[in-house]
Amino acid sequence: MLPRRYPWEQCSIASTLEIVGDRWTMLIIREAFFGTRRFEDFHRRLGIARTVLSDRLGRLVADGLLRKERYQDAPARDEYRLTDKGSDLWPALMALMWWGDRHATDGPPPVVVVHRGCGGTVDDRRVCTRCHAPLGPRDVLVSRGDPAAAAASTGPGR
Amino acid sequence: MLPRRYPWEQCSIASTLEIVGDRWTMLIIREAFFGTRRFEDFHRRLGIARTVLSDRLGRLVADGLLRKERYQDAPARDEYRLTDKGSDLWPALMALMWWGDRHATDGPPPVVVVHRGCGGTVDDRRVCTRCHAPLGPRDVLVSRGDPAAAAASTGPGR
DNA sequence: CCCCCTCAGTATGGTCACACTACTGAGGCG
DNA sequence: CGCCTCAGTAGTGTGACCATACTGAGGGGG
């Protein structure tokens, strides 16, 4: 979402969508929460065009949602990690996921978010269904598909 | 977001974005929560192209997030109202708004969501900051700009 | 030393979603 | 009779996004 598209809008929802409201940005952020950090991995997992990915990652770094971190010299290689600003999108992602589980997906949720060490799941207010603790991105494990595999997951990035 | 753009994705976030992930749909839903119901009003408030608005409203009705309701015959006029499925996007909108208030807006929040009859505001888990009641879209009043004007607002649609 | 591999992009050219403007069509108002 | 509102549809352009190919830095094998 390039140059302010809704300049007349006085609304934080519109302001947020100017940054993350295009077709790919939210999915890139989601991948980042799932632990993806490198260009090639984002490209593979999302199937996004390389040009668009390059542009979006650059924009997310410029906007301060991701930060580039050198993980190897010779050749220079950087990975992209969520900043605090980017991590704060977790509530929005959980809300979108909750809606999709209810209304856009048939059958059981394809991705399960589990309270690390407790085993409860995250409800629509990001509170553990078992121990009722309020949860943040670092309190949970994410499992693609199989809930039982959650315990073996590497958990979210950051 | 027309034909499934992420068919390989097994993720409710992607499924949700296929429905509400284009440039305008979320803002249309937001307007609906703010009480907008008619074509001409959506057009005026959003500044969206009429063709796109027509397409998006039709798609939202087809997807079951809005429902068309006759409010006048001769000439036939319908208004668009949120269904339960559409209303369930409230958590996602509140999450986007919360992020925008924190990270994408300078100064005080341009739109304030206030607990009706209590006066507290909504926190990031949609709980009242004053009386700690969990809040839904029909428990709140929305004020564009001035918090004090919230009590005089017509509140969210539905 | 040359070939092929990985990683992280940039370049190129095509397509489709979105934008702007204008028009239609049904009825109301003066 | 002409002008207004409301709810769209039609026509035409532009730019965001797409797929594919190429670059460039370095590693490893023969």
Residue of B92, B101, B103 lying closest to A95 (CB–CB): B92
What's the pLDDT at B7?
A: 52
What are the φ/ψ torsions at residue A50 (nearest 5 degrees)? -60, -40
The answer, yes or no, to whether residue B1 has pLDDT greater than 60, is: no
DSSP lists the bridge partners of residue A121 as A114
Does the bond joining B75 to the residue before it have cis omega, within 30 degrees of 0?
yes
**pLDDT tens figures, B91-136:** 999 999 999 999 998 889 999 999 998 999 999 999 999 999 999 9
How much of chain B exceeds pLDDT 90, in percent?
65
What are the φ/ψ torsions at residue A80 (nearest 5 degrees)? -105, 125
If one compares B158 and B97, the residue with the highest pLDDT of the two is B97
What's the pLDDT at B94?
A: 97
pTM of the model: 0.89
Mean pLDDT, residues B71-99: 91
Mean pLDDT, residues A16-29: 92
Q: Can you give the distance from the CA of residue A22 to the C1' of nucleotide C15 in angstroms?
A: 18
What's the pLDDT at A157?
A: 38
- The answer to whether B91 and B137 have CB atoms below 8 angstroms apart is no
What's the pLDDT at B26?
A: 94
Indicate yes or no: strand C within 7 A of the C-beta of A22.
no
Would you place residue A77 in the very low, low, confident or very high pLDDT band (cuts 50, 70, 90)?
A: confident
Q: Name which of A68-77, A81-90, B93-102 the model is least confident about.
A: A68-77
- The answer to whether A80 and A25 have CB atoms below 8 angstroms apart is no
Please give, rounded to a whole number of angstroms, the shortest distance from the CA of B129 to a CA of chain A: 14
What's the pLDDT at B107?
A: 87
Mean pLDDT, residues B42-56: 91
What's the pLDDT at B72?
A: 80
How far is residue A156's CA from residue A98's CA, in Å, rounded to a whole number?
17
**pLDDT tens figures, A91-123:** 999 999 999 999 998 889 999 999 998 999 999
How far is residue A86's CA from residue A156's CA, in Å, rounded to a whole number?
13
Indicate yes or no: strand C within 7 A of the C-beta of B2.
yes
The answer, yes or no, to whether residue A146 has pLDDT greater than 60, is: no
**pLDDT tens figures, B14-31:** 999 989 988 899 999 999
B 129-148 residues with CB below 8 A of A? Answer: 134, 144-145
What's the pLDDT at B145?
A: 58
Which H or E run includes A86?
helix A84-87
Please give, rounded to a whole number of angstroms, the shortest distance from the CA of B44 to a CA of chain A: 12
